[in-house]
Every structure is written in C-alpha cells, then in structure tokens.
Structure 1
Amino acid sequence: MRFMLDGLEVFFPYDFIYKEQYSYMQELKKALDAKGDCLLEMPTGTGKTVTLLSFITSYQLAHPETGKLIYCTRTVPEMTKAVEELKRVVAYRHEELRKDAVASGSDDTAAEATAAAADLLGICLSSRRNMCVHPRVMSNESDRERVDAQCRSMTAQWVRSRAEADPSVRLCEFFENYDRLGTDADLRGIYTLDDLKAAGQEHGWCPYFLARHAISFANVVVYNYQYMLDPKIANLVSRELEDKSIVVFDEAHNIDNVCIEALSVTLDRGTLEGAARNLGRLAAEVKRLKSTNAIPGNIRNAELFVRFMRHVVRFLKDRIKVAHVDSETPASFLHRMGTTLSVDPKPLRFAYSRLNSLLRTLEVTEVDEFAPISLVADFATLLATYPKGFMVVLEPFNSRTPHIPDPIMQLACLDASLAVRPVFQKFQSVILTSGTLSPLDMYPKILNFHPVVRASFEMSLTRPCILPLVVSRGRDQTPLSTKFETRDDQNVMRNYGDLVVQMASTVPDGMVVFFPSYSYMETIITAWHEWGVLERVEAHKLLFIETKDIVATTLSLGSFRRACDSGRGAVFFSIARGKVAEGIDFDRHYGRAVVLVGVPFQYTLSHVLRARLAFMRDHYHIREQDFLTFDALRNSAQCVGRVIRSKRDYGVMVFGDMRYARQDKRTKLPLWVQQAMRPAHLALTPELAASVTARFLREMAQPEDAEAAVGTSLLRLEHVKSLEAARLADEATAEKGVAVGGGAAGSAADAIREALAGGFAAEGDRAKPGSSDPEHAAAAATAEAMAAVSYPPRGAAGATGLGATQQSVSAPGAFSGLGGFLDADDEDDEDDAEWMHVLPAAASSAAGTAGVAAVSAGASAADVAAGEDVEDDPGVLSDEEALAAQAEAEAEGLEASSRKRPAPEGGRGLSAPKRAKAAADP
C-alpha cells in the first residue's frame, strides 16, 4: 500500500497495515523531523522490521539530504531477515514508481522514476568466516581466527609485494580480481550475505572486501552491533560514515550489556604467560631486523615499546596473585603501577595502536597467535583512557572452576554510556527499538541520552491470542518463589514440578520452561528425578535440556522441533539468560506455552555487578533494587515473548512466582503483556492455570475470522487515507482559529470521524442500528475533506511542526482524537476503552482532560462537547464493576463478556437523542 502519513508518502509492501505499525511510523517521523533520538517499544510479532525499513527508506526518498540507514542487529539470522524485508520494500517502491511513470506518458519521467528506486543500494556486512568464498580458506570455516589468519596471509600488502618478486607466493585470486575491477563496479540493488557470496563467485570478486568498500556509498547498511559499539572495530569500519545517517539498534533491550562487554577485558594467568611469550617473539624479530640493518624507521623505538610492555606484563603477573577479592579504580591501579615500575603510565593509552602498528610492520599474518598480548594491550589502553566508569576487580577463583585457585583480573566497564556515547554524538538520529524495553525511563538513564520521542504500543487484537497467567501458590497453598530463602525448600520444588506436569498434560505440541540459572536448574532437575516428576512429564512429552555446550544444545533443539513436528510433543528446559532465551523463536506449534520458573535476577554476589550498581547509584541516581528489578523483568519479558512471533500465533505465558502478582513488578512488563493480564489470573494454582489454559486453547483452536480484523486491527488503504484526511482537516480548522472539539461538530474532520465510526464497523457486518450506508457516508466525508485540503506532492517535507517533538513524547498511540476509528459495535466497548487510553486523543481539544477521560470510558466526542455526565449512564460498566464481573465470571467458568450489559442504541454511552442534541447544540 502507498499512503500519506503526516505529509510524507510511505511505500509499504503489503495491502494491510496494523494499527500499531501506523502509530509507530508517526512516532518515527517526529524523531526524524526533530533530528533527534527515540526509544520505541513495539509488540512482538507486529512487523517492526518492515515498518522501520518502509518508513525510513521513504523518508530518505522524500528528503535526499538524509544520510544512510545503518541497521544494527545482534545475529546473522536477524541480519538476513532485515535484508529480505528491505528487498520486498524496494521492489514494491520500484513497481509503484514505474506505474507512475507509465501513467504520466513521459519516457524521461519513467527513466527518472525507475532510477530513483533502482539506485538504492543495500549491503550487509559480517565477518570473513560468513563471507569468504575461497575454497582453501573455507576449509576452516568453523574457526574464525584461522579464517582471518589465512585471509591475511593471502591479502596483506606485504604479501602482495613479496609475490611480485616471487611468483610462488600464493595470493587470493578473489581479492586480486576485486582490487583490479571490483572497486569500480556499479553496484545496485539489495544484497544479503548469500547474494554477495553468489556475486563474488560469479564475478570472481571477494565479497568481504567488496562489502567493506560499498559501505561508503550504500544507502542502507546492515551489520552487527559490534561494528558500531566496539571502538576497535568501529574505527576500522564505521569511522567514515556521514553524520546525517540514521542508526537503528533493533532488539535493543540488552544494548547496555553489549556496551559493557565491548569495553571490558578479563585476564588470567594463562593469558599473561602467553603475552610474555608473544613479547619474546617480537623482541627476537626486532633484533633480527636490526642485525640486517633493514629495520624500518617507524619501529626504531620498537625495542623500547617491547621492553615497556614486558614490565607491564610482569607487574600484572604479580598483581593478579591475590588470596581474596580486591578491587581498585583505574587511577589507583595506574598509580600503583607507576610507583612499582618507576615509569610514566601515560604511554599505556597508545599500547593497542602501537602493538598493531608493530605487527603490521613486522609483517605478521598469524595475528591470532598474538591474541594474549593484544588482550593485555587492550587492557592497558582502556585503563589509561577512561579514569572514570571502570573498576579493576581481582578474584582468586575463576567462576568456571570455583574450587581450584585460578586468579583472574577484570577491567570491568561500569558505565554503558561510554561505548554508545560516540554514536549519539555523531549521528543525526539514533533509534532504539525492541518488543521488551519497559520501563522506558530506564534506558535514557543508563545510556545517558535524551530521546525526543519515547513510546510503547499496545497490541491491537481481534481475539486474545496471548494468555498471561501468574501461578503464585501450589496446590498445598505453598507460596511459589525462587527467592534465596525458599530456593532449597522441597515443598516449593515439588509444587514447581507439579506446575510443569500440569501444563505438559494440558498443552499440545511444544512447551518451554525457563529457569533463573544453571545451578538452580541442575538442583531442581536432580530433585525431580528422585521424586519421579520427570517420569510424569515424559509420559506426556519428550524432554530436552539446554547445556553450556552450544553444539549439544543445537542438537537438542533440532530433536525438540522434530518431536513437535511428529505430533509427539516436547518440553525444552532452558535458562532465562542463556542462548535459547535470547536468540531462538518457539513460534507456532513449537511453543504453545512458556513456563517461567521464578524471577531471573542476576547473581547479586558478583563483585562486578556490585561495583556497577554502586556506580549507577552515585552517578545516575538509580537505586540498586530498581535496576535489578528492571533487568530481571526485561529478561522475563524476553523469555515469554519467544512463543509469540505474529498476531496469528497464540500461546500461554505462565509466570511462576508470587512476585509477579505485585503491582510494582507487573507494571515493569511491556504494555502489550500488561494489557492481556486479567485480575482473575494473578493468583492461580497449577490446577487452575491448567484449567484456564485448556479453555483458552479450545478457543484458539476455532477458525479465525480474518475479516473481523479489518478496520480494527488491520487497516486498508481507505482507512489510512481517512486518518490522513482527518489530520489535514484538523490542521485546516486550527489555521482558521477554530478550537478543535469545541463547537466544530460540523467541520470536515468531525464528519470524517463520524463516518469512520460507521464505516470501519461495517467492514465486518457490525454496523449499528440506524446506520443506513456508513461506507457511503465515510467516502462522502473523506471526499469533502480532501477537496478542501489536498495532499502535498510526493517528496514534500512533512507539514507538521517540530514543537511537539522537542520534548519526550510518552503517549504510546498516535491516532489523535479518533474516537470514531475504533469499533463502533456494542460488543467491543471494553476493547475500545483499552485501546483509547493509549491515544494522545484531543490533546488540543477544548474538552480537556475530562473529555479524554470520558472518551476513554466509551463516550463520543459529541458527548464530551455537550458536557454530558457519561459516568452515570446506566448502559456502561465502570472499571471497578467490569473487573469485579470479570473475576466473578472467571471463578464460575463463564465468559466475562457475557456479564456486560448492553449499551443503549447509538453506542458509546449515550442514546441517539442525546447524541443528536449534543451535536446540534454544543
């Protein structure tokens, strides 16, 4: 579909668009118009990727001065998915512009339009291991270091110079062909990693270096977080990107941890011993070159550098010998080093760059063999560069071998903003987005930035496809929790086992169980094995378990999927902070239920975590408990979100801990999870949870009415046009000085909204009594408004001002004042009320706060304008009554909706005479 959104023409490659996608685009436009950063939380499975790509590429087309779109993902599969969606977007845009050119009848116009669409270049970049096509190099595909080393041994400049004098030196023919012809290639189109490899084999070019070269002139670049956040990699790849670029961090819920890992270094005795050996090799090589009088001028001081680094390594080997945990600041550590060695520690700041320069000059291709000294140089550079935001932590035991003395020294980054700060400072707009960013106010604090827009969106649904349940007690009324004091309680572990058995016997196909840690999973599985719980589970489904061995876990996942495909069903035991929780989807029949055992808090006895908590408390005024709760619940949301990957999917989310029933915990979950939680489902036992689950699954097994979603969850082109027409009519009314909503019942915008109230409802044959031809009314009103206010030409800048975008926007919706857009049927008022509270409706309306509250309760704009007391209308339940009726109905096994009293004819809380009176006499 092709439509106008706030004055911008958007090319969206599908015939329908979700409500939340439309709202998401509106918030994106505010941020891009303001040239600022934004934080957007969009429900899982609602098309976030295609929404981002469609809107931003359309924005680039309309605003040629805008720089690149740099799309950062966490994994290669996510990268591939993004590029495939980009292909679909660009192909649709190309076809639409071609049709325009044909319709215009001008060959010049046709050529110009085709070129505008076809010139877009999209490139993705990954490591050599994922892009190399050389047969000899790819024989070591699984070993990244070996692949990099072999590539350098055939492409390094000194190797190529040597080959000119010695034809026996082996070079990479793919790199040579690229260097000769590929740098001048006219690249167009969108390329996945596989596309680049295919093009490389076809033309004989190196895909890796071709992509590195193409980044400088590509319109869209897709790559891993590390290329933007890790300073060692970013300086090589992303340094030359223009400042006007738009940077997107997709799945950004863990971006603070990525930043911290990029700037943290851990050393142990083995690493320091390896570094000492590396320095011995370097010293010998420098001595050999000096003896031949062939030493280059740029390393005449190489001996001094090697000697200095030897002193540093010797100091580190002495300092790491600790009998108990110790920590100190970088300044204290450097002072101790300078005093002990009688040297100035300032040169440490350049240790990493000096080492790399030395390795290049010595023509070292086996760089992976010098990894230990590279790690020490990285440690030294970070230590001397950042006087604040770091802590040196020394521990006598390694976490992998806690009973064997193996001291470690960790330079721990405590301030996540240090890695991402250059990104915020350099680029025009930075977008952080994910399905699990709640609470939104935490990320600006821990990343130290100021978004101009922040928004969280609910999920518009025609049927409740997600069922969150809180199981807070066992069948014997034992409170369920993984708190430290109850962790070893056998009654708690037995009841958790009962919960898993009950769900396994109720849920068909696949089911996933997440535990807070490996140690707790091992403890409870051992107990379940002794008590026969695992046998009871295996009577219903096969059982698979995640381990720390990635290969074994991958094989287990494959067997799990085959068991689900065969109809046998399976349960997968996993870790809330493990690889499965972050990167594996259990969509469709692979995950009809997820059970979360406990709250996945971090290990609070970690000395690094304690140091980070103290830093955030002192510098960003974040309470320790607030951050720990935020971190645990974002991981909980990530786990339960694994089972929902689209609106047509469905699944049960079981929160197995009494702490989830607390208001202060639930409100930190994403808005789309909160909206599905019912009061009657907040304190269940395993038996009640299984009963509610069985009823839910029976309902989901019924055929879905696809047409019911049209106009409520799915919008057609005519719906979107009506929204834009209403916005334009509002702007025209405002320019004339007429107050919106206060006496403008006859305006074009109000006519559109009244028509939409009937027109959208009629989509599913749900028109109200008395609405003779709502579609005709909608069309007439839209035509009238559009005749008064025409669309701006394609490519024109957005008509909206920047005033609203200069401050944080907390309203999660964007259908301003569109009460009529919602379902106009009597049966969905409760859903409408839930949707309405996210709309920034009538922000400029004369009705004010009381008017918005009345509209949220189900009243029409005319009712509010007339000042009617809609709260006293007997046809609408209050919030308290609705909740009480719902809880009572759940207890009796009935549908809560059957308790709702019918609203009077005319809907929305007022009778038709009152509505007519309000419209006639505002």
Structure 2
Amino acid sequence: MIINVDNLQLLFPYKYVYPEQYSYMHQLKTILDSKGHGILEMPSGSGKTICILAISVIFLIRFPKKFEKLIYCTRTVPEVENASKELKKLLVYYKRYKLLQDGTFLLRHVDDSNIEINTSLLGVVLSCRKNLCLNEDAMHLPSRTEVDSIDLTREALVVFDEAHNIDNVCIDTMSVTLTPTILQIAEECVHFLQDKVKFFKDSHADVLEQEYNNILKGLPSSSRTEILSLPMTIPTNYVDQTIPGNIRKIDHFLHHLKRFVQYMKARLKIYDHAKQSISSFLSELYKHTYLEPNTLRFSSERLQILTDTLQIYNFENISKLKNLVSLCDFATLIGYYTDSDKFSVVWSKDSSIRNYISDSNTNSIVRLCCLDSSIAFKPILSFKSILLTSGTLTPMSMYSKLLNFTPLISTSILTVLPRQSILPIIVSKGNDQIELSTRHESRDDPNIIRNYGDLLLSMVRVTPDGIICFFPSYSYMEYVLSEWYHRGVLDQIQKYKLIYIETQDINETNDALVNFKKSCNCGRGAVLISVARGKVSEGVDFKHHFGRLVMFNTYNINLIHVVDLFKCIIFGIPYLHTQNAVFQVRLEYLTEKLNISQRDYLAFDAMRHTAQCAGRVLRSKKDYGAMIFADNRYERSSNYSKLPVWITNELTSGNKSLSTENAVHEVKNFFSSMGNDFKIIDSKGHAIFDELGIKNTETKKKILEKTLVDV
C-alpha cells in the first residue's frame, strides 16, 4: 500500500498497517527531518523493523544527499535475517511502482514473477569487525561492533534494535577479563612468536626489516587477520602518536609482553579481593617491571603488525592468540586511560569456576572494568541520527544519563489491540496466605518453594499448550527442582505436560528446545524450565502454542524471551547480584559521578529485563497471553511503574495482590474468552487499517493521540 506520513509518500509492502506502525513511522520521520536522535519504545511483535526500513528507503531515494545510509544494529543472527527478508520484500515491492518527480508513486502493473531481486546478503558474522553490505544503501552490523571503527559516512541513520541492554554492551566492549588460564596461554603464545621470529630471521630477514622500516615511517598495517577483539575508542589526544622506539623491534616487543604477562600471573596469586584505580595499578606495574603507559597503549597495534608480518593465518594459532590479544587489550586500555576514573581494576574470585585442585588461585580473575557506557557510545554520536528502539526502554531518561546523549524524541508507542489479549497478574501469596518472595533471606524457605510448585502445577492444569519458567540462576534452579522432585511436584506436572530443562550445555539445550516444540505440536503442550540470561531467555522465540505461559522465578531472574505466548509466569524480579565485586564498583561510580542511586539503577535494570521477557507474550495482533508476576515486591509502585505503559495500562487494581487460587480463576476466565472465534479483519478501522482507511487526515490525528505517550 501507499501511505502518506506527514506529507511524505512511502510504500508499505503489506495489505494492512497497524496504527502503532503509522505512529512509529511518523516519529522516525520527525527524527530524520530534524537530524536529531531519538528513543522509541514499541512492544515486540508490532512490526518495528519494516517501519524503520520503509522510512529509511524512501529517505534514501528522495533525499540521497541528506541521508546516505542505514546502519541497522541488532543482537542476534535471526533478527538480522528477519530484517534482510523485510528489506528484500520492500525492494521487490518498490519495483512495482515508479516514483514521480512530485514524490508520488505510479503503479507499473508488472507481474511479480518478472521482477528480479537485485540484492544479496553477502554474510553476517557476529564476531567479525569487517561487516558486509546487504546492498549499496543498507548495512547490517552486530550490536557488539563499534560502529566508529568502520569507515562509514556520517550522513547516516544508526538504528540499535533491541537496545534495552545497550549500556551493558558498551561496558562489555571496553572491559577485559584475564584469568590464570588466559595468562598461561598468552605466555605460551609469546614463546610461539619468539620461535616464529627466529625462523623468519633465518629465512625471511628482509620481511622483518621491511616491517621495522614501515613502523619508522608510520605506515599502517594492511591487516589480513582481524584477531583484535577490542574496538578501541581512542582519546583524541593520542590519535596522532606513533609506536614508541622501545617496542618497534620485534625482540623488544616480545620481551615487553613477557614481562607484562609474568607480572600479571604473579599478581593473581597474591590478590583475592581488591580494587585499584588505573593510576595506582600503573604505579605498581612500573615499580616492578619498568613498563610505561606510553609503551602499554600500543600493545594491541604492535601485536597486529607482528601477526601480519609473521603471516599467522592458521585458525588454531589465531584461536590461541586471542588470549594474548586479551592481554594486549588490557595493556592498551590502561595505557590510554591512565588517569581516568571511568575505569577500575578489580581482583576477585570467580565463583562460576569450580576449583577441583589444591591451587586456590585457579579461579582468581582480574577485570579491567569500564564504568561509563558513554565512552563506547560517544563515537556513534557523530552520525547524523541515532535511534534506540525496543519493546522495553522505560524509563527513557535513564538511557540519556547512562549514554550521555540528549534525544530529540523520547516516546512510548502503545499497541492498539483488537481485543484484550494480554493479562498481567501479580501473585503475591500462596493459598496458605504466605507471602511469595525470592529475597535472599527467604529464598530457601520451604513454604515459598512449595507455593511456587503449587502455582506452577495449578497453571499447568489450565494452560492449553506451552509454559515457560525462568529461574535466576542455574544453582537456584537445581535447588528448587530437587525440592520439587522430593515433594513429588514434578511427577504431578508430568501427568499433564512433559518437562524440559535448559542446561549449561548448549547441545543439550538445543535438544530440549526441539523436543519442547515437538511436544507442543502434538497438542499436549510442555513445560520449559530455563534460566534468566541463558540461551532461551536471550535469543529464542516461541510462537503461538509454543508459549502459553511464562513463569519468572525469583527476584533475580533477568530475562524471559518468548514469542506468541499465551501464558507467562514470572517468579520474582530480576535484580542483579549486588555482592559481585565488579558490579559493586560500577554502582559506586553511578552514584558518585552520574547521581544515579543504587536503588534506582537496580530497579531500572530488573524491570527492563522483566518487561523484555514479558514482551515476548505478544508477537502479533492475533496473539494472546497471560503474564504472572509471582513476587509480592511487584506490588510496589517503584517497581511496576518502571514497566512499559502497554503493560501497566492492562494491570488493573483487581489483578494485583492475588493468591494462587484467585490467579488460576482469572487465567481460566481469560483463556475462555480468548477461545472465542476471532478474525483480525473484524478489527479493521480500529486495530488495523487498509490503504483507504489510513488516508483520512482525521484518522491519522486520532491514531497519534491514541498511541503516543511521552516519557
């Protein structure tokens, strides 16, 4: 269809458009017209991707000098593939029309079978910094890629889809973790490079001489191996500096690396729990090794030149060298940010590493922590327009503080539903009136574990198909499942549905997902018990009958990722583990430097993940689902008020502070009403619009009034 969005005609490759899609395109057009940045929140499954592409393509065609590229960043390969399909569909649709000089479209009446698709996806690799073009006007980049590291025009729109976690991505991009294993392999790599250099001295001495001359002249490396793991954001005062003389020669550089790795290995044996500023760390480092920041900051660049010179292209060698790369990244960052309070060096024990041998230092780690996400985000601000979009961006003001940018538009867009197809419920107590909570002090309470088991069993009896349960950690999941097993809860559940469990083994988890979907297809349904922040929670969609119910278990659960869900139970709120040494340092920084209290940030982080999980319930206008938040702390306005408006609008006072019995009654009534005959076409003019219906100016005004919510 042809849609007029604020006096701009564009093509939309579907027969119907949602009112929220029109509002989304209207807001995005405003952002591009003003050459500003924006934050747009719209529920998952509402068709954000095609809206972004529709506006971008017409801008590329109509205003090529003002807007030259779309850089689309997202988290997973399936999301990129979906965007690619949508783009191809849109470009095919454009071939059926001719754009006239006045900006209107004329139908060509060309048979679809004669249309050639002149686009090809060359490749999408999440771990690669050399990203490939889909066509001349659209690029796909993974979110973890530093956009500034690629030579792109600044006259571009950079879109971060699923951007609810972008601050953590920026933090991780500029942080490095070293373990005893990494340091040991890094030291072995230094010896490997020394042997390789010795071989080259005997047979290719001219190559080594040429490398040295190139460094003296300041010539860049023509890299063939992108082994560098860290896309550096270099402070401007260091941009024009060249590699210092004491590491220009290969032998000197390898000796430099050897001293550094040996120092780090020795320090890991001494420190159990400590935190240091970079200046303090550098002072101690110089005292023991005489290594200076000016030398350290060029470690990564010098290593890249060396690997190119030695022609190390073997996959196994490159795989091992990544440990040495991590060490050089560590050195480079502390060399660049010598006096910065935005970084901290944290020495701690990694509780996830089980120590089976007598050496107590095997689970020691040191992490160079970036504390300010705006460092990695700053280069991206040089692009003309930036869009952060997701189904979960409330409160948006927090992203402005964390990323240090001012959006022109911060808007939440409501979904217009053809019927009341979502049912959020807060279950705060069991049938015995014992309060449900997963606070640390009450997590092992047998009465709470029993009540959670009763809640799941009750929902299994009334849920048509798939049920998804999420726990905060593998250890807690194993503990609760053990208790349920001894109490006979699991046996009772299996009378109604099969149970599948996510494990830390990715192959086992994949098998569980395949069999879970098979069980749902057979009509009996199934229960998938998973862990927040795991594979299932981060990147798996469950459509239609695959996810009738999702359960959030514990206040520390962090993410539930479900598509077309009919029922969702959430046991608790996904608070982060505040005793983690790295997280404590970051909380202190947020409080002291950004004036963000620990309580506010913890609630913000927990509720954005909760909303992201719950958002997987609704994937289209035809979907319906129940979201059960099983923790009495959800009743606090400081918590549920941070959920997106499209959830809180449906969370009535009658759906709060319910017992298990009352929740089951509400869910049964909800599913009964959803079981009635329903045709999406019956909601035309309300929840969907055809080309004729969307032309009316008064209708467009009503749509904007109904769907736009400033936050």
Query: Residue 33 of structure 2 corresponds to which residue in structure 1?
Result: 33
Equivalent position to 2:394, from 426, 433, 438: 438
Distance in 1 separating the partners of 2:123 and 2:644: 32
Opposite residue 497 of structure 2, the aligned amino acid is: K
Distance in 2 separating the partners of 1:443 and 1:690: 37
Query: Residue 510 of structure 1 corresponds to which residue in structure 2?
Result: 466
Query: By how many angstroms is 1:644 displaced?
Result: 2.0
Equivalent position SS for 1:388: coil
Change (3 A) 1:48 1:837: closer
Query: By how many angstroms is 1:291 displaced?
Result: 4.4
Moved more, 463-472 or 400-409: 400-409
Within 5 Å, give how 1:808-823 maps onto structure 2: 816=701, 818=702
Equivalent position SS for 1:715: coil
User: Is 1:391 aligned with 2:302?
Assistant: no
Distance in 2 separating the partners of 1:110 and 1:493: 65
Equivalent position to 1:267, from 164, 170, 178: 178
Within 5 Å, give how 1:879-890 maps onto structure 2: none
Query: Deviations 1:404-453 (Å, cap 9, x if unpaired)?
Result: 622111112221121121111x2111111011111111111111111111
Within 5 Å, give how 1:477-516 maps onto structure 2: 477-516=433-472
Equivalent position SS for 1:54: helix
User: Is 1:363 aligned with 2:311?
Assistant: yes
Instruction: Tell me if structure 2 keeps the 8 A contact 1:125–1:222.
Output: no
Query: By how many angstroms is 1:269 displaced?
Result: 1.4
Query: Residue 558 of structure 2 corresponds to which residue in structure 1?
Result: none
Distance in 2 separating the partners of 1:16 and 1:80: 23
Query: Residue 403 of structure 2 corresponds to which residue in structure 1?
Result: 447
Query: Residue 85 of structure 1 corresponds to which residue in structure 2?
Result: 86
Equivalent position SS for 1:548: coil
Query: By how many angstroms is 1:716 displaced?
Result: 2.3
Equivalent position to 1:352, from 297, 300, 303: 300
Equivalent position SS for 1:411: strand
Query: By how many angstroms is 1:122 displaced?
Result: 6.7
Equivalent position to 1:422, from 379, 385, 389: 379
Within 5 Å, give how 1:860-879 maps onto structure 2: none
Change (3 A) 1:99 1:508: farther
Query: Deviations 1:298-337 (Å, cap 9, x if unpaired)?
Result: 2371111111111111111111113530110112111111
Distance in 1 separating the partners of 2:62 and 2:507: 47
User: Is 1:629 aligned with 2:629?
Assistant: no
Opposite residue 71 of structure 1, the aligned amino acid is: Y
Instruction: Tell me if structure 2 keeps the 8 A contact 1:123–1:222.
Output: no
Query: Residue 95 of structure 1 corresponds to which residue in structure 2?
Result: 96
Query: Deviations 1:524-547 (Å, cap 9, x if unpaired)?
Result: 111111111111111111111111
Opposite residue 354 of structure 2, the aligned amino acid is: T
Distance in 1 separating the partners of 2:592 and 2:35: 31
Query: Residue 569 of structure 2 corresponds to which residue in structure 1?
Result: 595
Instruction: Tell me if structure 2 keeps the 8 A contact 1:247–1:431.
Output: yes
Query: By how many angstroms is 1:372 displaced?
Result: 2.1
Query: Residue 495 of structure 2 corresponds to which residue in structure 1?
Result: 539
Distance in 2 separating the partners of 1:94 and 1:705: 32
Query: Residue 400 of structure 1 corresponds to which residue in structure 2?
Result: 353
Opposite residue 93 of structure 2, the aligned amino acid is: Y
**Count of aligned residue pairs for this structure pair:** 640
Distance in 1 separating the partners of 2:508 and 2:264: 37
Query: Residue 236 of structure 2 corresponds to which residue in structure 1?
Result: none
Opposite residue 257 of structure 1, the aligned amino acid is: N
Equivalent position SS for 1:471: strand
Distance in 2 separating the partners of 1:482 and 1:46: 33
Distance in 2 separating the partners of 1:277 and 1:837: 60
Distance in 2 separating the partners of 1:705 and 1:566: 24
Query: By how many angstroms is 1:399 displaced?
Result: 2.5
Equivalent position SS for 1:585: coil
Query: Residue 482 of structure 2 corresponds to which residue in structure 1?
Result: 526
Instruction: Tell me if structure 2 keeps the 8 A contact 1:123–1:220.
Output: no
Equivalent position to 1:471, from 415, 427, 431: 427
Distance in 2 separating the partners of 1:611 and 1:97: 58
Query: Deviations 1:618-657 (Å, cap 9, x if unpaired)?
Result: 2211111111111111111122222321110111111001
Change (3 A) 1:410 1:403: farther
Distance in 1 separating the partners of 2:409 and 2:105: 39
Equivalent position to 2:143, from 191, 207, 225: 225
Moved more, 511-520 or 399-408: 399-408
Query: Residue 13 of structure 1 corresponds to which residue in structure 2?
Result: 13
Query: Residue 220 of structure 2 corresponds to which residue in structure 1?
Result: none
Distance in 2 separating the partners of 1:698 and 1:123: 45
Instruction: Tell me if structure 2 keeps the 8 A contact 1:512–1:574.
Output: yes
Instruction: Tell me if structure 1 keeps the 8 A contact 2:622–2:680.
Output: no
More helix by share: 1
Query: By how many angstroms is 1:693 displaced?
Result: 0.7
Query: Residue 674 of structure 1 corresponds to which residue in structure 2?
Result: 648
Opposite residue 392 of structure 1, the aligned amino acid is: V
Opposite residue 40 of structure 1, the aligned amino acid is: L
User: Is 1:309 aligned with 2:309?
Assistant: no
Distance in 1 separating the partners of 2:320 and 2:29: 49
Change (3 A) 1:225 1:712: same
Change (3 A) 1:552 1:837: closer
Query: Residue 210 of structure 2 corresponds to which residue in structure 1?
Result: 297
Calculate the aligned-residue CA RMSD, in Å.
2.7
Query: Deviations 1:506-554 (Å, cap 9, x if unpaired)?
Result: 1011111111222221111111111111111111111111111111111
Within 5 Å, give how 1:277-296 maps onto structure 2: 277-291=188-202, 293-294=205-206, 295-296=208-209
Query: By how many angstroms is 1:286 displaced?
Result: 2.4
Equivalent position SS for 1:472: strand
Equivalent position SS for 2:146: helix
Opposite residue 263 of structure 1, the aligned amino acid is: M
Structure 1's unaligned 5+ residue stretches are 131-143, 149-207, 724-752, 757-814, 823-834, 841-922
Query: Residue 410 of structure 1 corresponds to which residue in structure 2?
Result: 367
Instruction: Tell me if structure 2 keeps the 8 A contact 1:322–1:396.
Output: no
Query: Deviations 1:443-497 (Å, cap 9, x if unpaired)?
Result: 1111111111111011101201111111011001111010112111111111111
Structure with higher Rg: it is 1
Query: Deviations 1:705-755 (Å, cap 9, x if unpaired)?
Result: 4343111111222332212xxxxxxxxxxxxxxxxxxxxxxxxxxxxx5xx
Query: Residue 46 of structure 2 corresponds to which residue in structure 1?
Result: 46
Instruction: Tell me if structure 2 keeps the 8 A contact 1:337–1:345.
Output: no
Change (3 A) 1:99 1:502: farther
Equivalent position SS for 2:536: helix
Equivalent position to 2:291, from 343, 361, 370: 343
Query: Residue 653 of structure 1 corresponds to which residue in structure 2?
Result: 627
Instruction: Tell me if structure 1 keeps the 8 A contact 2:3–2:691.
Output: yes
User: Is 1:382 aligned with 2:326?
Assistant: no
Distance in 2 separating the partners of 1:104 and 1:601: 51
Instruction: Tell me if structure 2 keeps the 8 A contact 1:585–1:645.
Output: no
The one of the two structures with greater contact order (alpha-carbon pairs below 8 A, sep at least 6) is 2
Moved more, 549-558 or 415-424: 415-424
User: Is 1:334 aligned with 2:282?
Assistant: yes
Query: By how many angstroms is 1:258 displaced?
Result: 1.5
TM-score (normalizing by structure 2): 0.85
Distance in 2 separating the partners of 1:605 and 1:98: 60
Query: Deviations 1:595-626 (Å, cap 9, x if unpaired)?
Result: 11111111111000001111111221111111
Instruction: Tell me if structure 1 keeps the 8 A contact 2:42–2:48.
Output: yes
Opposite residue 83 of structure 1, the aligned amino acid is: S
TM-score (normalizing by structure 1): 0.66
Instruction: Tell me if structure 2 keeps the 8 A contact 1:13–1:92.
Output: yes
Change (3 A) 1:839 1:41: closer
Query: By how many angstroms is 1:398 displaced?
Result: 4.7
Instruction: Tell me if structure 1 keeps the 8 A contact 2:73–2:159.
Output: yes
Structure 2's unaligned 5+ residue stretches are 213-247, 549-566
Opposite residue 418 of structure 1, the aligned amino acid is: I
Instruction: Tell me if structure 1 keeps the 8 A contact 2:418–2:621.
Output: no
Equivalent position SS for 1:408: strand
Instruction: Tell me if structure 1 keeps the 8 A contact 2:40–2:411.
Output: yes
Opposite residue 86 of structure 2, the aligned amino acid is: E
User: Is 1:70 aligned with 2:71?
Assistant: yes
Opposite residue 683 of structure 2, the aligned amino acid is: A
Instruction: Tell me if structure 2 keeps the 8 A contact 1:246–1:427.
Output: yes
Opposite residue 299 of structure 2, the aligned amino acid is: A
Instruction: Tell me if structure 1 keeps the 8 A contact 2:427–2:656.
Output: yes
Instruction: Tell me if structure 1 keeps the 8 A contact 2:413–2:707.
Output: no
Instruction: Tell me if structure 2 keeps the 8 A contact 1:541–1:569.
Output: yes
Distance in 2 separating the partners of 1:30 and 1:595: 38
Change (3 A) 1:83 1:645: same
Query: By how many angstroms is 1:3 displaced?
Result: 2.1
